[in-house]
Amino acid sequence: MESEAIEIRGHIIDSLILPRVLDEIVEAGADYRMARFEVGKSHDDPSFARIEITAERDVLDRLLGRLADLGAELPDAGDARLVAADRDGVFPDGFYSTTNLPTQVRVGGEWIWVDNPEMDCGIAVSDARARTVPMIEIRTGDAVVCGYEGVKVHPLERPRAGSGQTFSFMSSEVSSEKPQGLMVRRIAETMRSVKDEGKKILWVLGPAVVHTGSADAFCALIRAGWVDVVFAGNAIATHDSEAAIFGTSLGVSLDQGIPTEHGHEHHIRAINALRRAGSFEEAVATGLLTNGVMYHLVTHGVDYVLGGSVRDDGPMPGVITDVLETQREMRKRVPGLGMAVMVSTMLHSIATGNILPASVPIVCVDINPAAVTKLVDRGSIQSVGMVTDVGLFLRQLADSLEAS
């Protein structure tokens, strides 16, 4: 049995950090002693705890790593241990697996920040810089952090009521039985403040935006400048083009709501027409597309990534068919993001959630509560799920932002 002391400080009681730390210790079967404990006298004062933990060495090591993830400092931590990768695309055994929280590693006695927090990656160190690296991108010889020592994770503090955190009210339970009109207004406010800070808004879109006849509302948001980056798949590009060329989505007339003759062929004919054009840019230039989401992305210079999937027809021109290449293109767009709005797509939303740092708030909107729950559970403390109709949501949001 060995002992180690950890220290935690900050709003550790009402941010639930202390209870979680004690919980981990107890769950691990370790003993602890509160060596020192100072509670903030008023609610703005930080608190401080020094806890001595006793357990078998291996239990202790795993436990310390877990506590570091919760923000505990190991008082006598040394430098992070670096091990050179011995082959491409494979981490050394015992690599430190990242969270999506702000993280520091100690290198040469200095705590340096890790660039681009992203979960389930490794940390590579070179030239006194640390960066997250996806497994597939690691190269033989890269110095990779191993073990939990010399790594410090900074949990996001829970937003306080009244602290101007417009999202705090929503961050609880995912339910359709909420005042949706109010939520839309709060999301609009958050979008305004993100843009005021000069940051970008990312939209992740599924084809229901087109099927529900709400592409118009989304186009209004593009025109009014609320869309900086779009991640989507082949399906929305397809049905949006189908709508632009044939006036249908999945063969259903968007004006009449009824299936049209041969409508089930429209999407495949739209793909063929776009492949013939060669690109969405060319299709706009030649007048094949004169409205819709893709037309607006092109004409308003919105940066977009179309990622392919195995269920795709076609695919449309510009769709990236290699999923690793799609991930690379998505990662390039993360810096500068201030917010992500995910609408009616599980696949691309999860993919995006995987690469976003916890500091980027997520709004996830879907009529399927299971989809929303799944996404919000993965997300940051600032994530908000909204179970609602996508079409009516986009319309109300456009109204709230006076975009329409």
Q: How far apart are CA 231 and CA 237, in angstroms?
A: 11
User: 6 with 67: CB under 8 angstroms?
Assistant: yes
Task: Decide whether 42 or 402 has the Cβ nearer to a copy of itself.
Answer: 42
Check binding of 347 to a copy of itself (CB under 8 A).
yes
Taking CB under 8 A as the criterion, the residue among 8, 18, 343, 376 binding a copy of itself is 18
User: CA 376, 302, 241, 325 torsion: positive or negative?
Assistant: negative
Task: Decide whether 199 or 329 has the Cβ nearer to a copy of itself.
Answer: 329
Task: Decide whether 150 or 263 has the Cβ nearer to a copy of itself.
Answer: 263
- Residue 353 CB, nearest distance to a copy of itself (Å)? 8
User: 236 with 309: CB under 8 angstroms?
Assistant: no
Residue 81 CB coordination number (10 Å): 18
Strands 129-133 and 122-126: antiparallel
Q: Which residues pair with 320 in a beta bridge?
A: 307
Question: x/- site string to a copy of itself, residues 103 to 142, per CB under 8 A?
Answer: -----------------x--------------xx------
Would you call 64 exposed, middle or buried from its count of C-beta atoms within 10 A (0-12, 13-18, 19+)? buried
Angle at 304 between CA 301 and CA 308, to 5 degrees: 150
Taking CB under 8 A as the criterion, the residue among 2, 56, 110, 377 binding a copy of itself is 377
Task: Decide whether 198 or 345 has the Cβ nearer to a copy of itself.
Answer: 345
Cis-peptide into 315, omega within 30 deg: yes
Taking CB under 8 A as the criterion, the residue among 71, 314, 338, 357 binding a copy of itself is 314
Q: How far apart are CA 238 and CA 258, in angstroms?
A: 19
For residue 69, give both structure tokens.
């993830």
For residue 40, give both structure tokens.
């903030």
Check binding of 354 to a copy of itself (CB under 8 A).
yes
Q: What's the full length of the chain, in residues?
A: 404
Check binding of 370 to a copy of itself (CB under 8 A).
yes
Task: Decide whether 257 or 301 has the Cβ nearer to a copy of itself.
Answer: 257
Give the contacts of 223 (CB within 8 A, at least 6 positions apart): 296, 300, 403
Check binding of 191 to a copy of itself (CB under 8 A).
no
Side-chain half-sphere exposure of 381, counting CA atoms within 13 A = 13
Query: Count of residues binding a copy of itself (CB under 8 A)?
Result: 111
- Residue 63 CB, nearest distance to a copy of itself (Å)? 7
- Residue 2 CB, nearest distance to a copy of itself (Å)? 17
- Residue 388 CB, nearest distance to a copy of itself (Å)? 4
- Residue 33 CB, nearest distance to a copy of itself (Å)? 5
Q: Looking only at residues 73 through 92 of this chain, which bind a copy of itself when binding is defined by CB under 8 A?
A: 87, 89-91
Q: Which residues pair with 340 in a beta bridge?
A: 202, 362
Check binding of 392 to a copy of itself (CB under 8 A).
yes
Q: How far apart are CA 249 and CA 207, in angstroms?
A: 9
- Residue 301 CB, nearest distance to a copy of itself (Å)? 24
Taking CB under 8 A as the criterion, the residue among 1, 2, 3, 39 binding a copy of itself is 39
Q: Looking only at residues 210 through 269 of this chain, which bind a copy of itself when binding is defined by CB under 8 A?
A: 211-214, 249-250, 252, 254-258, 261-262, 265, 267-269
Q: How far apart are CA 358 and CA 117, in angstroms?
A: 8
Q: Looking only at residues 170 through 189 of this chain, which bind a copy of itself when binding is defined by CB under 8 A?
A: 170, 173, 176-183, 186
Task: Decide whether 129 or 264 has the Cβ nearer to a copy of itself.
Answer: 264
